[in-house]
Every structure is written in structure tokens, then in C-alpha cells.
Amino acid sequence: MNNPLRALRGTLLVSLAILVAACATTTTNPSPSPSAAATGTAIATAAAGGACSPDDLALTGGAWGAAAGSRGAEVSVENRGSAACTLPAGPSVAILDAAGTAIVESEPPADEPGPTLEPGGVATFTILFSNWCEERTALPLHVVLRSGAAGIAIPGLDMAADDVPPCNGPGQPATLSANPWQPVEG
């Protein structure tokens, strides 16, 4: 009898966290993007430890969760390189249509270095996607961590018709936000 209450409490806490994150959403205009494929471009400006290269990073997306008409997920970024590297000040993500065109983007981070990841080090962040009213957009949608004009695909976060958030504001643009990096200790 105690297990269902714990599960409900956990679900409520996750829902509350997604709802709080929704209050910080940012709307941006879509812009074209060449592709979701990783490129050799660094994702951070040079800093102590050097900028992280897409080739050194392993990204993993958690399952999409639903709350308050939005979809949220946690993303894990691991430095699989042989040296420490520096992430940008904050994560910047985009959602691409099936053709690789950016249809919604989060705000770009400040132009300064972010946390440094040691080899094997991990940082996480959460994203929140809301108000999807574009029924004619080619699916599946793909989520990428921005790296200049391109992006690094985030495995596990592609969205089919059943995965996109509901249209809660017809005529209003979709919103996408990325919360700050959270280092993972241990």
C-alpha cells in the first residue's frame, strides 16, 4: 500500500518540476538548419580545458514526460574524450522537422564558457516543449543540442504524432526551453 503512494508522490514532484520549468519557456522564430548530423565544430568557446568537441560527447535523452500540456525530458551529456573540455554557458536546443529544418529553438546561451567536464564527467539538463499546433509539419521531429548552425542529435527524443505536446494556444508559436547544466557527481 505504501508503494502506490510513493509512486504518486514521485509523479507529482516530476509534474511540478516540469510545470515550474514551463514558466521559464522562451519562444523563438524558426530558422533553417542544414542538418541534425554532428559536425566537427566545437560546442563551446575556447576556455580552460578547451571547448568540448561533438566527437568527444555522448548524449542521451530520457523518456518524454507529460505535464500541464507540455512535454519534458532530461538530457545527459558525457565527456568521452581523453581530456577535460568546457561546455557552453548553457545548453541550447532545437527541434527539427523530418527534413532537418529548425522549427523551434531555445534561447542561445551567453557567450562565455560554462562548466568543465573531466573525462567521463557528466552534466544533465532538462528541456520543455509546449504548444505544438503545426499539424502539417513532416514528422518525426528530432531534438538536437545546438553546435553553431548545426546540432548534435539527442538519441531517444525523436517525436512521432503521439509524442508531441498538445496545441493549447492556437495561433501562438510553440515554445522550447532548456534549463541550466547540472553537474552529476560521482
pLDDT at residue 185, as a whole number: 83
pLDDT at residue 148, as a whole number: 65
Query: Are 117 and 76 within 8 A, CB to CB?
Result: no
Question: Does residue 99 sit in helix, strand or coil?
Answer: coil
Q: Which residues pair with 142 in a beta bridge?
A: 96
Query: Are 138 and 97 within 8 A, CB to CB?
Result: yes
pLDDT at residue 112, as a whole number: 86
Cα–Cα distances in Å, from 141 out to 56, 125, 149?
Answer: 25, 20, 18
The pTM is what?
A: 0.73
d(CA 133, CA 131): 6
Number of separate domains in the chain: 1
pLDDT at residue 27, as a whole number: 38
pLDDT at residue 157, as a whole number: 96
Q: Which residues pair with 48 in a beta bridge?
A: none
Its domain, for residue 97, covers: 2-184
pLDDT at residue 186, as a whole number: 65
pLDDT at residue 111, as a whole number: 85
d(CA 84, CA 56): 10
pLDDT at residue 149, as a whole number: 66
Question: Does residue 84 sit in helix, strand or coil?
Answer: coil
Which pLDDT tens digits describe the chain residue by residue (186 residues)?
A: 444 433 333 333 333 333 333 333 333 334 333 333 333 223 333 345 788 989 999 999 999 999 788 999 999 999 999 999 999 999 999 999 999 999 999 998 888 889 999 999 999 999 999 999 998 999 999 999 997 666 899 999 999 999 999 999 999 999 999 999 998 986
pLDDT at residue 96, as a whole number: 95
Per the omega criterion (within 30 degrees of 0), is the bond before 183 cis?
no
d(CA 101, CA 90): 22
